[in-house]
Copies of this chain bind each other. A is one copy, B any other.
Amino acid sequence: MPKRNLYLKSLPVEEAITRFQDALSPYLKAKSEDIEVIRALDRITSEAVYARCSSPLYNCAAMDGIAVISDRTRGASETAPLTLKEPDFVAVDTGDPIRPPYDAVIMAEDILETVEDNAVTIRFAASPWQHVRPVGEDIVSGEMILPGGHQIRPVDIGVLLSGGITRLSVYIRPSVAVIPTGTEMIEPGEEMVEGSIIESNSRMLEALVRHSGGEPERFSPVPDEYERLKSTLQDVTGRFDMALIIAGTSAGRDDYTASILRELGNVVVHGVNIKPGKPVILAVVNGKPVIGVPGYPVSAYLAYETFAAPVLSRLSRSPAHDMPIVKATLTRKLVSSLKHREYVRVKIGQVGGRLVASPLARGAGAAMSLVRADGFCIIGQDEEGVHSGVSVDVLLCRRLSDLQRTVVSVGSHDLILDVLSDLMPRLSTGSYLSSTHVGSMGGLLALKNGESHIAPVHLLDEDTGEYNIPVLKKLFTGKKMALIKGVGRVQGLIVQKGNPLNIGGLEDLTKCRYINRQRGAGTRLLFDSKLKVMGIPFADIPGYEREAATHMAVAAAVKNADADAGLGIFSAAKAMELDFIPVGEEEYDFAIPAEFLKLSHIQDFIKALQSAEFLKNLKALGGYAFDCCGEIIPVDC
């Protein structure tokens, strides 16, 4: 066994930030450059900008009409109109210069009549300077147009140019080297073999740097060779304003990077009490900030946002893009350790006037949960967790206005939910579907707790043989509920292509490796119910305890030959090109409190269910019946 440095020295988040900022403060000076105004959109002024000329540049007509000498219009009135002859007036358009002896403009609308080509009759005397825009009315030469530290907007560009400014001084966009490392890394699109990992973190970081106002340069993955890594780091800390080096996720690899950084400069922090993101390295080399970013995508993201973004913001002087904080009610208890501050990804929904936050997968490797997240719930290092139902602060990473038009679905998983979430925004104008997969029973519980709008369910009542309605009546006694009809679907055993073990039905599962669904999933309940009817004890099924959270996860395990069979839907087997042995048909519907039916985004959801595009998609997925998609069945419980 190689020896490992198992315990990183770990610091609280705030202390790590302070130490890093202190170590950097002699070096962190924002540099500026001179650029053209017409290329300055979104840049930050590094000093105040003063107008070089006035606007308007000269006295000019504010209206279309005639320029007059005000003195010569005295006495004109409705009852005593006055006729002016050229050159006592001259026709002007808006913006035309008004030169002496003219000192006022009469609007075209106020000219009573044009007597002949060179004479007009007016009905009002003109006061001096009426309808004349004096030189500098808008901008006076020498006046400050923009202060320093101002992010340039489209309107600023227009006014700078009008004020005679063609170039100005702005803070540079700091250059940031983004260096992935690891011999096992392959570039996206390269052939994949077991053991290889698609290098994607650097591309995420590159994009994050762009959003922070930096100019990233992404390197090809550097193999784990001490000298190559060292010379790369030496090179970039000379040429760039900052470097992000993506270390491996292992303690061994971190140490490797840390010891090179220690050789080249000062490792200020190695290990922070943050989850995900703990093995981050904060170093200063050549006076430049170098951040060792952990290799798990969620850790990489949080390490960037927590430690890199603030430093980049100081270098670029671009405003930190603060995520807004909202109060939301937590739907599940969260337990967290006193060892770290934890960032828990959550889905946010607005249900019945309040915001609810449902925790997502917490693993550092669960990048999809980062894509699916609407925000982060932060559990401080001094907290052991948060109870369900408590109001928590959530850092939003999606627009609140979008969340307010989102149908929150919590319940059973089916591939059609993806299809619907794709269709809804396109068929409506700005309604969305957000779904969390916790199984049918979990879904109904969430619905009962006011944490969702709809619950996708497929629950058989063993007494009546009826789907979904009996369980609603049992759970929601006294409430007005409804069922939005979904699809009929076939459940069956997903098995290897060609069915090599010759599995014919549930009775054959005792002789093969099964993969189950999680407790509370309708498919698990179906499986248990079928086993009971057939008199097969659960313990006789090898792998009964092994759980997967979705139909696709079951299919993936079979596809990968980690399991021989799992119960699931036809479309999952088809998507993975596996064989399928039908076990039974069931009804997959959406339970909803009747009061929500009137919501416009629920109406959009129903429209999507009834749409021709949805049916086309169902046919392509295969294994669905769709006679009554989107029908509403009132259920008075």
User: In the bound complex, what is the Cα–Cα distance between A93 and B253 (angstroms)?
Assistant: 9
Inter-chain contact A4/B560, CB cutoff 8 Å: no
Inter-chain contact B148/A200, CB cutoff 8 Å: no
Inter-chain contact A162/B198, CB cutoff 8 Å: yes
Chain A positions 133-172 with a Cβ under 8 Å from a chain B Cβ: 133-149, 153-162, 164, 166
Decide yes or no: A200 and B576 within 8 Å by CB, A365-B137, A556-B135 being known contacts: no
What residues of chain B lie closer than 8 Å to A147, measured between beta carbons? 418, 421-422, 425
User: In the bound complex, what is the Cα–Cα distance between A149 and B205 (angstroms)?
Assistant: 23
Q: List the one stretch of A206-214, A463-471, A622-630 in contact with chain B.
A: A206-214
Inter-chain contact B367/A1, CB cutoff 8 Å: no
User: In the bound complex, what is the Cα–Cα distance between A491 and B399 (angstroms)?
Assistant: 52
What copy number does this chain have within its complex?
2
User: In the bound complex, what is the Cα–Cα distance between A198 and B54 (angstroms)?
Assistant: 11
Cβ-neighbour of A128 out of B56, B59, B108, B546 (below 8 A): B546
User: In the bound complex, what is the Cα–Cα distance between A322 and B430 (angstroms)?
Assistant: 13
Residue of chain B at shortest CB distance from A49? B422
Q: List the one stretch of A260-268, A441-449, A451-459, A547-555 in contact with chain B.
A: A547-555
Decide yes or no: A91 and B211 within 8 Å by CB, A138-B365, A147-B421, A200-B157 being known contacts: no
Inter-chain contact A188/B37, CB cutoff 8 Å: yes
Cβ-neighbour of A41 out of B2, B108, B149, B207 (below 8 A): B207
Inter-chain contact A140/B555, CB cutoff 8 Å: yes
Decide yes or no: A195 and B58 within 8 Å by CB, A2-B91, A108-B4, A555-B140 being known contacts: yes
Q: Is residue A48 contacting chain B, with contact meaning CB distance below 8 A?
A: yes
Chain A positions 542-576 with a Cβ under 8 Å from a chain B Cβ: 543, 545-546, 548, 550, 552-553, 555-557, 559-560, 562, 575-576
Decide yes or no: A418 and B198 within 8 Å by CB, A109-B6, A557-B134 being known contacts: no
Instruction: Provide the A226-258 mask, 1 if CB < 8 A to any CB of B, else 0.
Output: 000000000000000000000011111100000
What residues of chain B lie closer than 8 Å to A93, measured between beta carbons? 248, 250, 252-253
Q: Is residue A297 contacting chain B, with contact meaning CB distance below 8 A?
A: yes
What residues of chain B lie closer than 8 Å to A189, measured between beta carbons? 166
Q: Is residue A438 contacting chain B, with contact meaning CB distance below 8 A?
A: no
Instruction: Provide the A343-382 mask, 1 if CB < 8 A to any CB of B, else 0.
Output: 0000000000000000000010111101100000000000
Decide yes or no: A204 and B109 within 8 Å by CB, A188-B166, A252-B64, A297-B162 being known contacts: no
Q: Is residue A401 contacting chain B, with contact meaning CB distance below 8 A?
A: yes
Cβ-neighbour of A204 out of B2, B154, B195 (below 8 A): B154
User: In the bound complex, what is the Cα–Cα distance between A543 and B103 (angstroms)?
Assistant: 12
Q: Is residue A308 contacting chain B, with contact meaning CB distance below 8 A?
A: no
User: In the bound complex, what is the Cα–Cα distance between A167 and B326 (angstroms)?
Assistant: 35
Q: List the one stretch of A15-23, A94-102, A530-538, A590-598 in contact with chain B.
A: A94-102
Cβ-neighbour of A553 out of B91, B140, B184, B250 (below 8 A): B140
> What are 22 contact pairs spanning A and B, CB under 8 A?
A1-B111, A6-B108, A53-B192, A55-B198, A59-B562, A62-B363, A93-B252, A96-B195, A128-B545, A129-B546, A136-B557, A137-B553, A138-B365, A139-B367, A144-B421, A147-B418, A154-B204, A155-B301, A158-B204, A161-B200, A164-B198, A322-B401
List residues of chain A with CB under 8 Å of any chain B CB.
Answer: 1-2, 4, 6, 37-38, 41, 47-48, 53-59, 62, 64, 66, 91, 93-97, 99, 108-109, 111, 114, 117, 120, 128-129, 133-149, 153-162, 164, 166, 184, 188-189, 192, 194-201, 203-208, 210-211, 248-253, 295, 297, 301, 319, 322, 363, 365-368, 370-371, 399, 401, 418-419, 421-422, 425-426, 543, 545-546, 548, 550, 552-553, 555-557, 559-560, 562, 575-576
